[in-house]
């Protein structure tokens, strides 16, 4: 699985003009299931993200995790993270998992984060979403699991 995470002060996702998920301080997690991914990879990625020490401690160092801070995660499915731009000008997405598998792994990933004690809000799989965020730092990190 692949994720792009952004440390945020707040984030919200809208579908058809209505908010479907929002958080205060925490992480916006854009996630993509790739060909060959399974539930074990989704769980491993969730664990990595929950434990990743990218929040400031009292001394201002990035030393605290999402679990340490009690922050939330806004999980948004984004198959375009699978983009292959190695040839031509039009990205290819054949390395993304098929839609049914992608949706199941996206949901399993969000449930796995929740099971780790993280408050989770989500977008809507395969919807045309509008994502608004205030990036804190900015801190943006790419993860492959």
Catalytic residues: 78-80
Number of other residues whose CB lies within 10 A of the CB of residue 15: 14
Report residue 38 as tokens: 């399974």
Structural Rg of the chain based on CA atoms: 15
* Nearest-10 Cα torsion for 6, 7, 9, 15: 30
> How many helical (H) and strand (E) elements, i.e. helices and strands, does the chain have?
3, 8
Report residue 129 as tokens: 């979403």
Give the helix/strand (H/E) hosting 14.
strand 2-15
* DSSP H stretches of helix in 1-145: 39-51, 66-69, 99-115
């Amino acid at each position: 699985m692949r994720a792009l995470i952004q440390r945020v002060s707040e984030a919200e996702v809208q579908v058809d003009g209505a908010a479907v998920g929002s958080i205060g301080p925490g992480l916006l997690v854009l996630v993509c299931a790739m060909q060959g991914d399974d539930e074990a990879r989704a769980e491993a990625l969730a664990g990595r993200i929950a434990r990743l020490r990218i929040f400031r401690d009292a001394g201002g160092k990035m030393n605290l995790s999402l679990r340490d801070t009690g922050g939330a995660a806004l999980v948004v499915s984004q198959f375009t993270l699978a983009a292959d731009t190695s040839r031509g000008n039009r990205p290819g997405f054949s390395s993304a998992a098929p839609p049914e598998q992608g949706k199941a792994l996206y949901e399993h990933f969000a449930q796995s984060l929740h099971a780790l004690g993280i408050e989770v809000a989500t977008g809507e799989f395969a919807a045309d979403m509008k994502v608004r965020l205030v990036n804190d730092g900015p801190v943006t990190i790419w993860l492959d699991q």
